[in-house]
Amino acid sequence: MLLIEHSVLLMGITLFFGLLMAGAVGANDVANAMGTSVGANVLTLRQAVIVAGVFEALGALLASGQVSQTLSHGIIDISQFAHTPELLVLGMIASLIAAGAWLILATAFGWPVSTTHAIVGAVIGFAAIGLGIHHIHWQVVVNIALSWFVTPAIAALGAFLLFLSVQRGILAAPQPYRAILRYMPVYVFLVSMTISWVTLSQGLKPLGVFLSKEVIWSLSLVISVVFSVIGFYWMKRLLMCEKNVQLDAKIVNFKLLERAFGVLAVFTACAMAFAHGSNDTANAIGPMAAVYDLIQTGGQIKQATLLPFWLVVLGAIGVVLGLAIYGYRVIATIGVRITELTPSRGFAAQLSTAATVIICSGLGLPVSTTQILVGALLGVGLARGIGSINLRVVKNIVISWIITLPVSAVLSMLSYRLLVWGFK
Instruction: Dump pLDDT digits (tens) for 38-47.
Output: 777 778 877 8
Residue type at position 353: T
Grade residue 414 by pLDDT with cuts at 50, 70 and 90: very high
Grade residue 110 by pLDDT with cuts at 50, 70 and 90: confident
When comparing pLDDT for 112 and 216, which is higher? 216
Helix (H, G, I), strand (E, B) or coil at 389: strand
pLDDT of 199 over the 80 cut:
no
Helix ranges (H only) for 40-137 are 45-63, 65-69, 85-108, 115-130
Rounded CA gap, 359 and 158, in Å? 13
pLDDT of 251 over the 60 cut:
yes
Residue 173: per-residue pLDDT: 82
When comparing pLDDT for 84 and 361, which is higher? 84
Provide the residue range defining the domain that includes 296.
Answer: 2-422
pLDDT of 67 over the 60 cut:
no
Grade residue 101 by pLDDT with cuts at 50, 70 and 90: very high
Grade residue 416 by pLDDT with cuts at 50, 70 and 90: very high
Residue type at position 245: V
Q: Of the given ranges (5-14, 240-249, 286-295), which has the lowest mean pLDDT? A: 240-249
Give mean pLDDT, residues 66-78. 61
Rounded CA gap, 114 and 375, in Å? 13
Return mean pLDDT, the chain. 79
Residue 293: per-residue pLDDT: 80
Number of domains in the chain: 1
pLDDT of 33 over the 70 cut:
no
Give mean pLDDT, residues 310-330. 80
Residue 78: per-residue pLDDT: 72
pLDDT of 367 over the 80 cut:
no
What is the per-residue DSSP string for 270-314?
HHHHHHHHHHTTHHHHHHHHHHHHHHHTTS---S--PPPHHHHHH
Do 328 and 146 touch, CB atoms closer than 8 A? no
Give mean pLDDT, residues 312-335. 77
pLDDT of 239 over the 60 cut:
yes
Q: Of the given ranges (102-111, 199-208, 247-256), which has the lowest mean pLDDT? A: 199-208
Grade residue 412 by pLDDT with cuts at 50, 70 and 90: very high
What is the per-residue DSSP string for 175-233?
SHHHHHHHHHHHHHHHHHHHHHHHIIIIITGGGT----HHHHHHHHHHHHHHHHHHHHH
Grade residue 1 by pLDDT with cuts at 50, 70 and 90: low
Q: Rank 73-82, 245-254, 404-413 by mean pLDDT and report only the highest.
A: 404-413
Rounded CA gap, 199 and 157, in Å? 24
Residue 96: per-residue pLDDT: 92
Q: Tell me the sheet residues that pair with 76.
A: 136
pLDDT of 37 over the 60 cut:
yes
pLDDT of 347 over the 60 cut:
yes
Q: Among residues of the chain, what percentage have pLDDT more than 70?
A: 84
Q: 204-213 burial by CB neighbour count: b if 16+ within 10 A, else e?
A: bebeeeeeee
Q: What is the pLDDT of residues 261-314, one digit of tens each?
A: 777 777 777 777 776 776 667 677 778 887 888 888 776 766 555 667 788 778
Grade residue 141 by pLDDT with cuts at 50, 70 and 90: confident
First to last CA, the chain: 11
